Structure 1
Amino acid sequence: MQGAPQEPEGDVTIADAVKDNWVDTTAPDWLRPYLRLSRFDRPIGTWLLLLPCWWALMLAMLWSGNADWFDAWIFIGCAIGATLMRGAGCTWNDITDRDYDGAVERTRNRPIPSGQVTVRQAVIWMALQTVISLGVLLTFNWAAISLGVLSLLPVLVYPFAKRFTWWPQVFLGLAFNWGALLAWTAHSGSLGWPAVTLYAAGIAWTLFYDTIYAHQDTEDDALIGIKSTARLFGDATPQWLLYFLIASLTLFCFAVVQSVAAHSTLALILTLCGTWAFGWHLHWQLRSFNPTDQKGLITLFRSNRDAGLLPVLFFAIALML
C-alpha cells in the first residue's frame, strides 16, 4: 500500500500528543521514538486501561470486608502493568498498522511509518515491555497470573479487528477492561460475578469513549477501508452513545450492588454515588459531542480519565468506613 517510509528530518512529534508533554520536552532524543510507540506522550490510554483494575480491586476489598498491605502492591502493580502493557499493546498495534498509519493524517508521523523506528526495533521494544510486565504479574496469585496470560489474546486480535468487523471497539473493550477480572482475582484468589459484571460495564464504556475517538478519522478510514463504530453509526452516533451510557451505568451499578450490598448501607450509598457521578460525566460528554469538532473530540475522549476517577474517589471513601 505504502512505499518505504521516508526518513524524517529531525524530531517528529505526533499530531494528537498532549501539548508540551515530557516526551517531547525532556526525554533523550534517541528514546523519544520508543516512548511515542508506547504512547507516553498520550497517557490517557494508560488511565483507561488502569481504571477498571482499580475499580475491581476496591470493590473486591469491600466485598471481602478486608484489606492488607498486599492490596497496596496490587494497586501499584496494576499501575505499572497498565503502563507497560498499554505500551506493548500500542507497539504491537503500530507494527500491524504501519501501512495504514502512513495513509492517515493523524497517524502518519508515528515512529514506524515516519521511519524513526524499524519493525525489528519495535518488536524488541515490545518484548522488553512485556517481559517487565510479566515480572509484575508473577507476584500475584496463580489465578490472576493465568488471567494475565489469557489477556494477551484480545490484545493480539484487536489491531486486526477493524479490517473484518464494523465493531472493532468491542475487541478494544475486551482487551482494555480485562484488568477488572485480573485485579479482583489478585485480591480474592478467584474470579467472582461482580468482576464479570464490572468487565461488561467497562466494555460498554469503551464503546462509548472509543466511538467518540474514532470520529476523528472517519474520512481517512473510509478512503483506506478501515471499519469502526463511528463510520457505522454516522449521524446516529448520539443515539448509540446514549445506549452505551445506559448499559455501562446499569451494569456498573449492578456490580456495585453485588459487591457492597452486604457490607453496609452507607458504603453502598457512597459507591452508588460514585457510579452515578461517572454516569453524569458521560452524559455531559454526550451533550458536548460534535463529530465535526476535531479538538472537541480529543478533549472529550481524554476527559474519560476524570470520569473513571470519580468512582475511585467514592470507593476510597467507602473503604475508610
Structure 2
Amino acid sequence: MTSERLPEHLPDAVRNHWADTVIPVKLRPYARMARFDRPIGWWLLLLPCWWAATLAAIATAQSLNFLYMALFLIGAVVMRGAGCTYNDILDRKLDASVERTKMRPLASGQVKVWQAVLFTGLLCLIGLAVLLSFNSFTIFTGFASVLLVLIYPLMKRFFWVPQLVLGLAFNWGALVGWTAVTGSLSAAPILLYICGIFWTIGYDTIYALQDIEDDEIVGIKSSARFFGKQVIPSIAGCYLIAILCAAGSFYLAGVSWFSYIGLIGFAAHLGIQTFNIKTDDGATCLKLFRSNRDAGLLLLCGMLLNVFIN
C-alpha cells in the first residue's frame, strides 16, 4: 500500500462518513472500494428488491416478510461493494485519468490488485450465503444476473448507453424480490423491472453529467454524451416510461389507492429532478442523483401502507 497520505474523503463521498472516520486507517481503502462511504448505490440496488417483495405480498395477500427484507439489505450492501470493487479492478487505469476518480484506492495505488480480488471474493461469499437463504427458483434467478454484472464495467468502452446495461443489472432485484415471495414470475414484476431500468438510465445519466468533459477526453461513452443537447428531455422520457411501467405493474398486482399515492409522489419527485437539472453544475447533478433514494422510498411507502392498512 502506498505511503501517500490518504485523502479525507473522495469527491462524491458523504462527508464525515463512518468509513472515513471510525474504521482503522488501513481498512479505509477497502471501505472506499466497496463504496460504503457512498450509500446511495446500495440504496438504489436495494429499493427494487423491496418494491418487488412488497408488491408480491400485496398481490398474494401475504404479510410482509421482514427476514427477507433484512436479507435483501445485507445482499445489496455486499454485492454493490463487490461490483464496485470489480469495476475498479477493470477501470483502474481509466480512473487514474479522470479527476473525480483518480484518488480511488486502486487507481491511486492504495490497494494492490490481488488484494482487491480477495476482497471481492469475500463480499461475493457473503452475497452467496444470502442468496442461498431463498427458494430454489430465487437462487436460479439470482445466478442468472451474473453475466450482466460481469459485462457492465466493460460497456462504457464501446456501447454508447452503458446505463442501459447498468439498469438491467441493478434492477434484477425486482425479479429476485418477487420470486422470493411467490416462487414464480409474472407480468407484474417484469413491468416493475422495466420501470427500474428506465429509472436507472435517467438517474445515472444525471450522474454521468459530472464527468462528461473527462469522458470525452479519455473516450468513455455514456448516455450523457449520447443524448447531447437533448439530455434533459431524454431523462424526462426515461422517467415517464418508468412511471408508466410502475403504474402497469401496480394495476396487474391489484394494489389499492395507497400504492398509487406513493406512485404519485415518485412521479412528482422525478419531475422536480428533471426541472432542476443543470448540465454544467456537477454539485447539483450529484445532489439530484442522490435524491433518487427518496424518490424510491416514496414509491415503497405507498406499497407499505397498502400492506399494513388494507
TM-score (normalised: structure 1) = 0.94
Tell me which moved more, 146-155 or 120-129.
146-155
2:22 maps to 26
2:59 maps to 63
2:278 maps to 290
| Match of residue 5, structure 2, among 10, 17, 21 | 10
- Mapped contact 1:257–1:268 kept (Cα < 8 A): no
**Per-residue deviation, residues 233-265 of structure 1 (Å, max 9, x unmatched):** 1221111011111100000010011112xxxxx
- Mapped contact 1:53–1:78 kept (Cα < 8 A): yes
2:200 maps to 206
Q: 1: CA distance between counterparts of 2:180 and 2:102? A: 39
Secondary structure at the aligned position of 1:163 is classed as: coil
2:184 maps to 190
User: What is the CA distance between 1:98 and its match in structure 2?
Assistant: 0.6
User: What is the CA distance between 1:67 and its match in structure 2?
Assistant: 2.2
Q: 2: CA distance between counterparts of 1:128 and 1:121? A: 11
**Per-residue deviation, residues 11-49 of structure 1 (Å, max 9, x unmatched):** 233111111111111111111000100000000000000
User: What is the CA distance between 1:10 and its match in structure 2?
Assistant: 1.5
Change (3 A) 1:83 1:130: same
| Match of residue 80, structure 2, among 82, 86, 89 | 86
2:170 maps to 176
**Per-residue deviation, residues 45-65 of structure 1 (Å, max 9, x unmatched):** 000000000000000000001
Q: 2: CA distance between counterparts of 1:34 and 1:192? A: 39
- Mapped contact 2:63–2:307 kept (Cα < 8 A): no
- Mapped contact 1:52–1:179 kept (Cα < 8 A): yes
Change (3 A) 1:141 1:295: same
Equivalent residues in 2 for 1:1-321, closer than 5 Å: 7=2, 9-12=4-7, 13-67=9-63, 71-260=65-254, 267-320=255-308, 321=310
Q: Which runs of 5+ in 2 are unaligned?
A: none
User: What is the CA distance between 1:8 and its match in structure 2?
Assistant: 5.4
Q: What amino acid sits opposite 1:270 in the alignment?
A: F
User: What is the CA distance between 1:151 and its match in structure 2?
Assistant: 1.4
Q: 2: CA distance between counterparts of 1:158 and 1:92? A: 10
Identity across aligned pairs (percent)? 46
Q: 2: CA distance between counterparts of 1:115 and 1:83? A: 24
Q: 1: CA distance between counterparts of 2:195 and 2:42? A: 18
User: What is the CA distance between 1:191 and its match in structure 2?
Assistant: 1.3
Pairs aligned (count): 308
Q: 1: CA distance between counterparts of 2:69 and 2:286? A: 28
User: What is the CA distance between 1:72 and its match in structure 2?
Assistant: 1.3
Q: Which runs of 5+ in 1 are unaligned?
A: 1-5, 261-266
- Mapped contact 2:58–2:253 kept (Cα < 8 A): yes
TM-score (normalised: structure 2) = 0.97
Runs (4 or more) in structure 1 with deviation over 6 Å come to: none
Q: 2: CA distance between counterparts of 1:314 and 1:196? A: 19
Q: 2: CA distance between counterparts of 1:113 and 1:39? A: 14
Secondary structure at the aligned position of 2:4 is classed as: coil
